[in-house]
Chain A
Amino acid sequence: MNFFNILAEPVGVSHYLLVGAVLFTAGVVCMVIKRNALGVLMGIELVLNGANINFIAFGSPVLRGESTVSIGLDGQAIALFVILLAAAEAAVALAITLNFYNNHATVDVDRAEDLKG
């Protein structure tokens, strides 16, 4: 009903949000179902980027359709931080993965259970 109405509307915030939600969900699912550590990392990237799209969408004055006193860059700035963070995180995560591989000769996250209770 409402959901399908969206397709009939002009592109607005809700469309972006929809794309972001799809991306986010895809990322989460990817994280859940992938046993390969690299796959999980990709899922994470997807989740982050899904969130990024939301930031961008909420941050765009055009999309919000209003002229506010904001300089209109707050959403983009956060998105940039997230990208940066994602890059850093990927670097660390890849390093961990590499080490894990060196030790266990696998990248299966289910095998990484040394710290389980």
Chain B
Amino acid sequence: MELEQTLPILLGLAWITPLFSFVAILFFGPRMGTHGKNAASVATAAIVCSFVFSLSALLMWIGVHGMSGGSHGSHHVLLKDSQTVLVAGAAQWNLADHQPSGSEDASEAVHPAHDADAAGVQPEDAHNLHHSPDSSDSHGAGAHVPISYSGDWYTLFKVGSLELTIGWYIDALTLLMFVVVSLIASCIHIYATGYMHDELHEVIDHEVHLVAGGHLHRPGRFSRFFQSLSLFCFSMFGIVIAGNLAMIFIFWELVGICSWFLIGFYYERKTASNAANKAFILNRVGDFGMLIGLMALWGALGTFRFADSVTMSLDDGKPVVAKGLFNLVRPAENDHQLIVPDGMVKASASGEIAGIMIEHATRPRDGESELKSRISQWRSDGLGSWLLIVAGLGIFCGCVGKSAQVPLHVWLPDAMEGPTPVSALVHSATMVAAGVYLVGRLYPILAPEVLLVIAYIGMITLVIAATIAMVATDIKRVLAYSTISQLGYMMLALGVGGWVAGLFHLITHAFFKSLLFLCSGSVIHACHTNDMRRMGGLAKVMPWTAGAMLIGCLAIIGAGIPFVIGFSGYYSKDAILAQSLSFVQNNPSHQILFLAAAAGASLTAFYMFRLWYMTFAGEPRDHHVAEHAHESPLIMVAPLVVLSFFAVVAGWSFSGEGGLTGLLEQARPAGTSEGASHGLLQVSLMIPAEHESHQGAVHRSATLVAFTTAALGLLAATSLYLWKFVSVELLSRMFGPLVIFLSKSWYFDELYSFLCMKPVLLVSSLASGTDRHAIDRFVDGIAWCARRLAVFDDWIDRFVVDGVVNATAHATWNIGLKMRDFQTGKVRQYVMFIVIGTIALFVLASMLWNSTIAG
């Protein structure tokens, strides 16, 4: 089978397997072994299957396309599900033609339907390949176009031109994300099997104090944990494989709800349920912006699809190309440089368009042609630029929420309430990675102005989070702020044009951050506390954990021998710094972006080694904890070793250009490698091409800066926490207010409480006051009146109506009693009555006869 057909199947399987596991555990979880023990095996088996599928897909890809990013062949390939396509003469379009070598041939752009024998085609040809009639090759220009495959599995519904499909868009980035997510998730599943063993039995939650006194006893939720993990992985895979924005949004929300399940896993704890709600609600805030972005894109461009799609016209069997978002914003005709799409120009110029159409009301065709001629004029006037910027910013809003960027970062430290494996998963592979991934995926449609905003948000995030991490004492919170800071780095990298740098850091960070979290979980497992001030000297009792964590720390600070070799973070952080340097060289007014990134590197080194020294080095601070500590079981240590290995080697390149960066280069959005992008509104803004940052001088100075800053940070941490030249307590006293400011997380929570919660509470208390005192009073008054009226009614009913009825009955009764006397039972008397009555009648009749009738 060919790659174009195999990849969707393999990745589809990798994607759907965790869903099966979720469903199985959902229905049979508690019955899987004792207390659901086998649920872990099911979930782990599923995710390992996913990993195997993903890895084989990646290997097949490498087999065809190699690992280097050098191939500049343009072959965007489309595959459409047979159920929706009436296939015309695309059958003869062989895959062989689309190998890199073949695709250089400009003649390929020939319309397939021009073939004479196009008519009689069998349905099974549907799965054959359609070459995109994208004519970039004939334009020459050597524009780099990423290799990607796209298509649809299933059409959810189609209303007018709105089509929601479950489809795929597969490029090297998709494959890498699949492998990384499934690998890390596999490690975390295995680790969690050991970490969560408490949940196998009845759990006494010492953090929940019952009103009646004592602690909460509850049944273990082992299977439930793995059920949520499976759904989480499924959702993340869904985002990664999605072929359109609508599908991304669906799985985006699924990831959100999974995080809610897992952060609130110990939902009896007030803090945990609050943290879960906080994460969910802050993400809704971001998603609100994302919806605006989606609406802007949909309203102006009418498609959510990333790639072009080819359908066969029902009329003449010719292929019809529906342009995808990427090709609309960076059309092949424009050498894949960013322009405002026609749809957005038209949407902004609706007033002018109406004028033109009225002018040519009698001959609409003239109007159409005039419209066409005016569009480029409007575009150069800047019409529609704002729409593109709003679309980009809106979608970035969603990413701000998911990837915990300032100002929506406050949920992430609180999310530490979840079990540690969940933190590891959330912080490395799934939730927060989704935001960075989406920025990377939608990079082609982001205007330079949007990128600038992204860069600044990332810069602010990385500095703020790093400073907070320096004073945090909860081991998981340090790591949480470290994650936020690193995500800031990724956003910064993407914002300054470092597409590969940002996503490279996403992947390397996924490895070492999951490693760090699992190590901290191991520590917490041993010490039963999160407080670093009670740890210390643990390296002796937990050598494996200490070693793995040391590797993680070295990786995250980007340790390495400059220009020779280093941990994975060394490569990715250097790339980011180099790109920032290249950016500020082109845009001197944004100097702070590079300075902050460099300072951030220093802070990173400081807080990571502060963490390591406080936890593992020196003498035990709390002897009770130290005596109790022990190395974790093999099932928890083994994943640490695996992740350590990747934390070290993930950045290495093999055979020259190969390695992660080479693979990522293959997916680089078209038109971002060679030329620089200029701002739509602010022409002086220039996003430099990334390959410039690989050039000797820039890269060399960036490497040196990174190394120096990291070394400085490391030195500071070592002298303070290991050699103890200066007492930390003394320093804290000297900088008292600053330390308090930082340990209060820059008062963000208080600020939001003041800005959002207080007003809301005020308004709601006002509303409740109005409700209680005005509306309730009114309602109560009406009820009181109704009650009085009812009492009156009751009186009328009782005395008037009932009185009449009773009186009638009474009278009847009395008359009856009187009448009894006449019925004596004496026949003779009756006869007398008859006689007398008859006579009386006669007399009466004769009198009346005489007086009235006859008379």
- Tell me, yes or no, whether A binds B: yes
Binding site for A on B (CB under 8 A): 819-828, 831-832, 835
A114 touches B835 (CB 8 A): no
Closest 7 CB pairs of A and B: A113-B825, A116-B825, A117-B823, A117-B820, A109-B827, A31-B831, A32-B831
* B825 interface neighbour in A31, A40, A114, Cβ under 8 Å: A114
Q: Can you name 8 A-B pairs with beta carbons within 8 Å?
A: A28-B831, A32-B832, A33-B828, A40-B828, A109-B827, A110-B827, A112-B827, A116-B826
Nearest B residue to A29 via CB reads: B835
Chain A residues, CB < 8 A from B828? 31-35, 40, 109-110
Give the docked Cα–Cα distance between A8 and B831 (Å): 35
In chain A, residues 28-84, which have Cβ atoms closer than 8 Å to a Cβ of chain B?
28, 31-35, 40
The CA-CA distance from A110 to B828 in the complex, in Å, is 8
A115 at the interface (CB under 8 A from B): yes
Q: Inside 8 A of A112's CB, which chain B residues have their CB?
A: 825, 827
User: Whose C-beta in chain A lies nearest to the C-beta of B835?
Assistant: A28
A110-B819 Cα distance, complex, nearest whole Å: 19
Residues in A whose Cβ lies below 8 Å from that of B827: 31, 40, 109-110, 112
- With beta carbons under 8 angstroms apart, the residue of A32, A33, A34, A117 that contacts B819 is A117
Contact of B826 with A109 in the complex, beta carbons under 8 Å: yes
Contacting residues, chain B, for A109 (C-beta < 8 A): 826-828
State whether B832 touches A113 (Cβ < 8 A): no
CB-CB < 8 A to B831: which residues of A?
A: 28, 31-32
A115–B823 alpha-carbon span in the complex (Å): 9
Q: How far is the CA of A4 from the CA of B820 in the complex (A)?
A: 45
Extra A-B contacts (20), CB below 8 Å, given A28-B835, A31-B831, A32-B832: A28-B831, A31-B828, A32-B828, A32-B831, A32-B835, A34-B828, A35-B828, A40-B827, A109-B826, A109-B828, A110-B827, A110-B828, A112-B825, A112-B827, A113-B825, A113-B826, A114-B825, A115-B825, A117-B821, A117-B825
Q: What's the Cα separation between A110 and B826 when bound, in Å?
A: 5
A109 to B820, CA, bound (A): 19
Measured CA separation A109–B829 after assembly (Å):
10
Interface size on A, residues (CB 8 A): 15
Q: Determine the chain B residues whose CB is within 8 A of the CB of A28 once the complex forms.
A: 831, 835
**CA distance in complex: A114, B823 (Å):** 11
Docked Cα-Cα span, A115 to B822, in Å, equals 12
CA distance A112 to B827 in the complex (A): 8
Interfacial chain A residues near B820, Cβ < 8 Å: 117
Q: Which residues from A are CB-within-8-Å of B823? A: 116-117
Look across to chain B and name the residue whose beta carbon is closest to the beta carbon of A116. Answer: B825
Residues of A within 8 A of B821 (CB): 117
Closest to A34 in B: B828
Q: Cα distance A32–B825 when bound, in Å?
A: 14
Q: How far is the CA of A117 from the CA of B825 in the complex (A)?
A: 8
Return chain B residues, CB-CB under 8 Å to A33: 828
What chain B residues lie within 8 Å of A32 (beta carbons)? Answer: 828, 831-832, 835
Complex-state Cα separation, A83 to B832, whole angstroms: 24
| Per-residue interface assignment for chain A, residues 11 to 42, with 1 indicating a CB less than 8 Å from any chain B CB and 0 otherwise | 00000000000000000100111110000100
Q: What is the chain B residue whose CB lies nearest that of A114?
A: B825
Please encode chain A, from 99 to 115, with 1 for each CB lying within 8 Å of some chain B CB and 0 for all others. Answer: 00000000001101111
Minimal Cβ-Cβ distance residue in A for B827: A109
User: Chain B residue with minimal CB distance to A110?
Assistant: B826
Complex Cα distance, B820 from A49, in Å, reads 34
Alpha-carbon separation in the docked complex, A112 to B819 (Å): 19
Chain A nearest CB: distance from B718 CB in Å? 123
User: Closest Cβ of chain B: how far from A26's Cβ, in Å?
Assistant: 13
**Could you tell me the distance between the alpha carbons of A13 and B819 in the complex, rounded to whole angstroms?**
42
Q: How far is the CA of A32 from the CA of B835 in the complex (A)?
A: 9
Residues of B within 8 A of A35 (CB): 828
**Contacts of B822 on A, CB cut-off 8 Å?**
117
